[in-house]
Amino acid sequence: KVQLQESGPGLVKLSQTLSLTCAVSGASISSYDCSWIRQPPGKSLEWMGYISSSGGTSYNPSLKSCISISRDTSENQFYLQLSSVTSEDRATYYCTSDTVSGTQCEP
């Protein structure tokens, strides 16, 4: 069974960098894509970006200047970094990979 477990700070101060980790167990991330999405309070889901099984990335154009998605195959983890956060970044953040997902509460 493939499971995703997120970790990261519960709070991030304005203008600082949000860093989230998505640890995968039960499978090698070399075989999986990972997408990050978020849902601001009272709003719909927003796709942020993804990293493919080959390591290529694609980002939402509205976030391209401040987002970075990476991975470490030796640690079997995906990472999200969002720099210079503002009040607009208040949301619940999700990492997803195929049909499984993990969540991280609002930064």
Question: Per residue in 5-58, pLDDT tens?
Answer: 888 887 889 999 999 999 999 888 888 899 999 999 999 999 999 999 889 999
pLDDT of the residue at 100? 47
Q: Is residue 107 part of a domain?
A: no
Report d(CA 14, CA 83) in Å as an integer.
10
Segment 94-104, tens digit of pLDDT: 999 864 445 44
For residue 37, give the CATH number of its domain.
2.60.40.10
Instruction: Using DSSP bridges, classify how beta strands 100-104 and 57-59 pair: parallel, antiparallel or unpaired.
Output: unpaired
Q: Please give the tally of structural domains in the chain.
A: 1
User: pTM of this prediction?
Assistant: 0.86
Q: Which domain holds residue 46?
A: 3-102
